[in-house]
């Protein structure tokens, strides 16, 4: 592919308007905050159980809370937070909304339903066919 055609392809890629950029930034940040908060509540509950039963290990538990925070997130939440972080970094690099497979636009409607999507609907369907 010559340099000119690369430039042309770049131009075809959807550029998020300022408004949509802010929209997705807020949406992703909120979703992330909610996940992290949910995880903190889980840990707080765990600690209050420990408090009653094993008071002598409380200090150690408190120290370990920070370190074990990510470990104690449920697998699914951890994956989702990673995906949100990736989406946020794509947003920063102006790559948000591009399909990882074909470089096509993922499409605004699809992104609004699923901001962490990395594949356009066609590539997603192909992937699902391969996996099934």
Binding site for Zn ion (CB under 5 A): 99, 101-102, 104, 120, 123
Nearer to Zn ion, 35 or 117 (CB): 117
> What is the enclosing helix (H) or strand (E) of 119?
none
Other C-beta atoms closer than 10 Å to the C-beta of 72 total 16
Residue-wise DSSP of 51-64: HHH-GGGHHHHHHH
Nearer to Zn ion, 28 or 118 (CB): 118
Nearer to Zn ion, 39 or 104 (CB): 104
Contact call for residues 95 and 111 (beta carbons, < 8 A) = no
Q: Which two tokens stand for residue 118?
A: 């990395």
What's the min distance (Å) between Cβ of 43 and Zn ion?
38
């Amino acid at each position: 592919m010559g340099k000119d055609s690369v430039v042309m392809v770049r131009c075809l890629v959807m550029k998020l308007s300022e408004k949509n950029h802010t929209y997705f930034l807020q949406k992703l940040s909120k979703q992330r905050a909610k996940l992290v908060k949910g995880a903190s509540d889980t840990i707080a509950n765990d600690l209050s159980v420990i408090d009653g039963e094993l008071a002598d290990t409380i200090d150690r538990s408190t120290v370990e809370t920070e370190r074990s925070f990510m470990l104690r997130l449920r697998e699914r939440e951890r994956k989702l937070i990673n995906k949100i972080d990736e989406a946020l970094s794509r947003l920063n690099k102006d790559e948000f909304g591009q399909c990882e497979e074909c470089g096509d636009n993922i499409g605004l409607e699809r992104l609004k339903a699923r901001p962490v999507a990395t594949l356009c609907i066609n590539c997603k369907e192909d992937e699902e066919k391969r996996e099934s």
